[in-house]
Amino acid sequence: MEKYVLGIDLGTSSVKVILVNNDGKVVAQEKGTYDLIQEKAGYSEQNPEDWVISTIDAMKKVIDKSKVDKNKIEGVSYSGQMHGLVLLDEGNNVLRPAILWNDTRTTEECEKIKERLGSKFISITKNTALEGFTLPKLLWVKKNESNIWKKTTVFLLPKDYLRYRMTNNISTDYSDATGTVLMDIREKKWSKELCNKFDIPLSICPPIVNSTEFVGNISAEFSKLTGLPTTVKVFAGAGDNAAGALGSGILSSDTALVSVGTSGVVLNYENNISDDYHGQLQFENYINSDSYYSMGVTLSAGYSLDWFKRNFYSDKSFNEMIEDARKVEQGAKGLFFTPYIMGERTPYADATIRGSFIGVDARQSRADFARAVMEGITFSFKDILNIYKKNGKSCKRIISIGGGAKSAFWLQMQADIFNTSVISLDNEGPSLGAAMIAAVGLGWFNSISECAKTYIKYGKEYTPDKEKVAIYKELYDTYHLIYNQTKLISNQTKKVKIC
């Protein structure tokens, strides 16, 4: 008998809802969008109510579009943008707009964490303190919005707030909990030491559960809003990187994930907790308390290309821009782009660095600039892959998802720059990972790996072109020199008053 689950991916700019049957077929999908709130430079916030409204709308459209019997929808789970901070009062009302992962106002708080704890912080969390994480956001609110802080009774991550509104359940999962850098990853619980050190009440930390844990049914109120029956079971879900990795079949350390979204991610499965990257890579729980992954992040991957398209290619479609870039010679006639337009995270934990075009030449056209942006983003991923290589890890293949996987040209570019086979997927992403969590939670499959065999559909494999690999190696060696020079220029620019 055919039955269904819903996978909800709460992203930075939109929510995606898919309806998947027990054979892994995506029956219907819809998106809803919402806006960023950017009151000051470096600020990035959203209204959590916008997430709820957009999700309800997308869910209703999916159900109507599919024309399936609602009573055959058995479960729902989530993927969500990580590190965001939602603060609730004693009545579980939202106290202020959510502060998002790409908000960079917390540099002072990060420095405070490093000064007071140093390497001890990394030993507890297996991460370094970066502006995007949740703990620095908590400390910023505590310092700058004391009236809000006094009213706070619990904090949640974005997907967890959405789930609360659907079920009245307050909790988070291990992947999002580690992403707060307030959890002791070895002890598998919130760190009393960190809470005491920074005067954060342990009571405001939500309960932590495994991603596939049943956390309640759709509430009567939410049933009225969506038409879903209250028999639908809800499972905790995971942060978007964990869910995206799951939906891409990253279940062993010989396969890495490259994902191009607003940010870009290179992610690898970790066999145990003993691997130590000294905070240079993020280290998180995966789908449960005993599974892990590590990752590096390019803060402005797809966003760099969106920015370039919006400002310099507005008269053409994305596909036309990519086609123009394809026709340009490898290396864009000596033009390089560094995708640091909103700072950088890996391998440079630097919120103040800014992007650059280097090697501008009168022979170049905007198509060369488009290609340079694509190559620069991909070079930034190679920076991250090289961290794994230096730590004795190498992967046999790379699964590519997101915007970079929508173009055969960009997939081949990735294979040539990485010098590794790159595989696309026919159905992929965090929303599929969320659906898989629900399917496993319902007991349709005995394990995540068993579910993956049914749900994940592999696409074309792109193998490296030896001649292009050699050229890209030389180009990358030059690209790798640019950061330090750009840093000098960025520091000098700060001294200049620009109106």
Give the residue numbers annotated as catalytic, written as ranges. Answer: 240
The residue type of 419 is N
3-state helix, strand, coil in the chain (%, to 5): 40, 25, 35
Convert 195-211 to b/e letters by CB count within 10 Å (16 or more is b).
beebebeeebbbebbbb
Q: What is the DSSP string of 137-199?
A: HHHHHHHH-HHHHHH--EEE-HHHHHHHHHH----EEHHHHHTTT-EETTTTEE-HHHHHHTT
- The kind and range of the H/E element at 468 are helix 466-479
Cα–Cα distance for residue pair 401/333, rounded to 1 Å: 28
The residue type of 343 is G
Q: What is the DSSP string of 384-415?
A: HHHHHHHTT---SEEEEEEGGGS-HHHHHHHH
CA distances to 257, 272, 427 from 252, rounded to whole Å, are: 11, 11, 19
Convert 364-391 to b/e letters by CB count within 10 Å (16 or more is b).
beebbbbbbbbbbbbbbbbbbbebbeee
Convert 319-335 to b/e letters by CB count within 10 Å (16 or more is b).
eebbebbbebeebbbbb
Q: Are 397 and 462 in contact (CB under 8 A)?
A: no
Rg of the chain, C-alpha, whole Å: 22
- The kind and range of the H/E element at 426 are strand 421-427
